[in-house]
Amino acid sequence: MSTVQETGANGANCPEALARAKGAVTASVAKVCKAGQASQASQAGAARRTLSPVAAFVGAALTFVGVTFAAGAPSPLFVLYQQEWGFPAWVLTIAFAIYAITLLVTLLIAGSLSDHIGRRPVLIGALALEIVSMLIFLFAQDIGWIIVARAIQGVATGAATGTFTAAIVELAPEKHKKLGAVIGGTAPVGGLALGALITGAAVQFTAVPTVIIFSSLAVVFTLGIIVVALSAETVSRRAGAVRSLIPRLTVPRAARAEFGAIVPVLIGTWMLAGLFLGLAPSIIRGVFHIDSGLVNGAIVALQPAAGAVAGFVLSRVHARTATIWGSASVVVGIAISVSAVAFGLLPLLFVGAVLGGAGFGAAFSGSLRILAPLAPAHQRAELFAAVYLVNYLAYGVPALIVGELIGVVGLLDAVIGYGIAAALATAVGLVVQLRRAHVVRSARPATGSVRVVAAAE
């Protein structure tokens, strides 16, 4: 009987098996054959419903770019909203910071949820929320609507960011896993650049920029849901989903030393991102007295665009080296940008944006390449959630503080103080990375345990 079952389970040679079977065994053989054939049909149907690995990888990466595009898109529109609705300048910082705050809360609550229930359910839910936020942006009547839309967008992005980063690494072809980490590090900054630049151009050259941008993004996220739904799940369900919703910050043990060494780099580089994405439109208008959607979009986009390019170009450079040189470039870029604001030199601000942005991309991509191999698959989203928690704390909280200080000390002094703080944080990270590199080089001949670190780099 067991032999017959094995034959039928494969759905093959069923006629021969039935012919050989006698008496009461015939009915059992028929049932087993039908079960085997049904199983094969089910597997074939599942295969037809699943995208190829390459298509799923590319689709996930493009959708992730769409999420970060949407995060950068409102920045050039804030000044336009202010002109149309006439609210105080400090309200802009609330609209900017509420996104970071809700994103942070979501990372704390749901950052590791996809490690338990799978990547697809979390990503589909996050993309559905993105669609809701785009529709609110599209039909907004006052700044209150914008703040609500940014809050919902923050929740959606918080749920999607770590999960997309993990999924892209896992969906990457086996021979190109490092490419997944590179894309995970460059997609956020590349998407921010595209969002700011294209939205700035829409403000400058079209009569209905909000309709063009937000309706298009709603379509993109709808297509993204279809891509995710048709992609293979990359992790198995495991217990503890409800318990994982308790707010916490956990880093896998194997990654803790490197994570701690990278934190200052993340703080400094993402403070630089906050300077350009949150404050650049106010700087262009308040310091340089330029009122142009295209210029606003260009200055906001230049820093993350340089970061995306640098992240890809330097993907073959040793991860630690990229992080060190990137951190140094961020310090130089911040110094140039602050000097540009202090002396009113707009071309110098663009130079600072390029240098600082290139450093941002190199340092952040290098950091992810160091960390990604140090976490098992079932803890990878949790690790990336911790990374992005640090990122968005550095991205949002200082900008919110500076927004409050503008009314007290003035825009110029507030921006200069912000730049100095960002440069100091990055300089600390640079020193820590240099020491870490020395420790790793010194330990390599003495022990094989360093291979884990070397593999990460």
pLDDT digits (tens, 9 = 90+) for 333-372: 999 999 999 998 999 999 999 999 999 989 988 998 899 8
pLDDT at residue number 161: 84
Both structure tokens of 378: 């079932």
| Cα separation, 232 vs 211, whole angstroms | 34
**Is-contact 269 330, C-beta < 8 A?**
yes
pLDDT at residue number 424: 95
Q: Which of 225, 202, 334 is nearest to 276 (CA)?
A: 334
Low-confidence ranges of the chain (pLDDT < 70): 1-49, 89, 176-178, 185, 248-249, 443-457
pLDDT at residue number 356: 93
Both structure tokens of 182: 């590179």
Q: Is the full-model pTM beyond 0.75?
A: no
444-453: long-range contacts (C-beta < 8 A, 24 or more apart)?
Answer: 452/254, 452/373, 452/374, 453/258
| Cα separation, 452 vs 446, whole angstroms | 14
pLDDT at residue number 199: 87
pLDDT at residue number 16: 53
pLDDT at residue number 48: 45
| Cα separation, 311 vs 245, whole angstroms | 33
Q: Residues 230, 234, 240, 246: what is their CA dihedral angle, to the nearest 10 degrees?
A: -80
Both structure tokens of 62: 């493009």
Local structure of residue 235 (DSSP, 8 states): S
pLDDT at residue number 327: 95
Residues 6+ apart with CB under 8 A from 134: 70, 149, 214, 215, 217, 218, 221
How confident is the model over 226-255, as pLDDT tens digits? 999 999 888 888 887 887 777 766 788 888
**Is-contact 107 162, C-beta < 8 A?**
yes
Q: Any alpha helices (H) in 206-318, and if so which ranges?
A: 209-230, 241-244, 256-274, 280-286, 293-313
pLDDT at residue number 324: 95
pLDDT at residue number 184: 72
pLDDT at residue number 49: 59
pLDDT at residue number 339: 93
- Residue type (1 letter), 327: S
pLDDT at residue number 306: 87
Local structure of residue 373 (DSSP, 8 states): G
Q: Any alpha helices (H) in 372-410, and if so which ranges?
A: 377-409
Q: Three-class SS of residue 221?
A: helix
Number of other residues whose CB lies within 10 A of the CB of residue 110? 23
Q: Three-class SS of residue 142?
A: coil
Residue 83, Cβ density class (10 Å: 0-12 exposed, 13-18 middle, ≥19 buried): exposed
